[in-house]
Homo-oligomer: A and B are copies of this chain.
Amino acid sequence: MRPKPFAPIPASLPATVPFIGPETLQRRRGAAFDARLGANENGFGPSPAAIAAMRDEAARVWQYGDSTSHDLRHALADHHAVPAESVTVGEGIDGLLGNLARLMIDRGDVAVTSDGAYPTFNYHVAGFGGALHKVPYRDDAEDLDALSAAARNRGARLVYLANPDNPMGSWHQGPAIRAMLDDLPDSALLILDEAYIEFAPDSAIPQIAADDPRVIRMRTFSKAYGLAGARIGYAIGHPDLIDGFERIRNHFGVNRMAQAGALAALRDSAWLSDIRHQVGKARDRLAAIAAANGMTALPSATNFVAVDTGRDGAFSRRLVAALERQGVFVRMPGVPPLDRCIRISCAPAPELDILAEALPRALAGL
């Protein structure tokens, strides 16, 4: 007997994964990586207070987590000076993007994004039967005018913009993003993915009212706060939009330890400042390593650096593979002309030392 057929939308989808995880790559190569620089994780780690809070909460892990993430949600509301009704907590931005796609996308609805931008957004849009329309990057940055023009021309329901951008590390100033909102058609909701915003200059943060119905902002504890493995993030938007998540989300889905860890991490602003400082130093070091190898680090407002190899995507792909053989995990953009770059995460000095040794060897072998 064969299994029952899937419903039409999943039946039309491939089995896929937006990213192959480093653990899978390690199993394939039969050895652990010496430097884990490919997933934009924060190797400087979370606040010790966050680790302590999670370890403490482990004693209560027999209890389900608070289904409303009440304490964290209210702390986030205070932190951003927005009403708690404008904040929802979810299983990382990936989880929030999935729920948002489900809330907004009916079969055939159009979502606009940049060609080469975050693949997990594309995965979720396709997963609900949406039609993706992609516009090219311009000068290694997401093209605000092209995104809003495409949204108008296609009657888009969703427009995705990461600021700062992943995978290029480029960023726009807040006022430019505010201006973009005015250019969007009435049909469209802007998803402003601010996963890396804590690494960006303040001027990159647009002043947007929490109840502006044209935009939903997404933030995470995975990057600057160093809690990627805890799976916790949040969205800020109009209360009626935020309330929509209550119709579909997995109410008890946020890990209890993650809630405690995120709350402690949010409160440790000194640690966050130090992380910013360390990441800034690591960016400089990555730029120096790139230059020492005849390559150019692009400016970055994130915890990673896109390094321009000066060659094409085929070269970058060979370089990423060669680095993997040297025990260094990095990734690269998926489409030209971005794929002339490789993407390297900021990390503590010992890992960058390993990179500094491995990179010339990898290049020499190509």
Interface residue ranges, A against B (CB under 8 Å): 1-4, 6-10, 13-24, 27, 36, 39, 41-46, 51, 54-55, 57-68, 70, 91-92, 94-95, 98, 102-106, 109, 127-128, 157, 186-189, 212-214, 222, 226-231, 237-238, 240-241, 243-244, 246-248, 250-258, 261
Contacts and interface: CB of A to CB of B under 8 A. Distances in A.
Contacts of A254: 231
B229 A65 contact: yes
B21 A41 contact: no
13 contacts: A4-B157, A6-B247, A7-B106, A10-B247, A10-B248, A23-B67, A45-B62, A46-B62, A54-B61, A61-B228, A62-B229, A94-B252, A127-B247
Q: How many copies does the complex hold?
A: 2
B3 A247 contact: no
A6 to B, nearest CB: 5
A95 B253 contact: yes
Nearest to A8: B106
A120 to B, nearest CB: 8
A251 B42 CA distance: 19
B24 A213 contact: no
3 smallest CB-CB distances across A and B, nearest first, come from: A229-B256, A21-B67, A23-B66
B17 A67 contact: yes
Contacts of A41: 62-64
Nearest to A222: B64
A61 to B, nearest CB: 4
A304 to B, nearest CB: 14
A58 B51 contact: yes
